[in-house]
Amino acid sequence: MKKKFIGKGILKKEQAERYGKEIDRLTKEHGFVTPKILVEEASSKKSPLHDWFEWNKNKAAEKWLIEQAKYLLRSI
């Protein structure tokens, strides 16, 4: 039976299928998947996960700071 992957939030159906299949493959390969494994695998431009991540370090740093600010606002 073929697995179905359903996106939540901002993920489109096609993205959920593509990313879900790759995460499933990585889970079988490694026995489990961590965020670090995902980033390492996605760093290859050939990876189906590559386009999900921001690879420009300046843009990525700014996005991370915004996420930290969101966390702080939710925590107070």
Which residues fall within 8 angstroms of residue 29, CB to CB, at 6 or more apart?
none
Amino acid residing at 42: A
Domain map of the chain by residue range? Answer: 13-75
Q: What is the pTM of this model?
A: 0.81
Both ends of the chain: CA-CA distance in Å? 46
pLDDT tens digit sequence for 6-63: 888 889 999 999 999 999 999 999 999 999 999 999 999 999 999 999 999 999 999 9
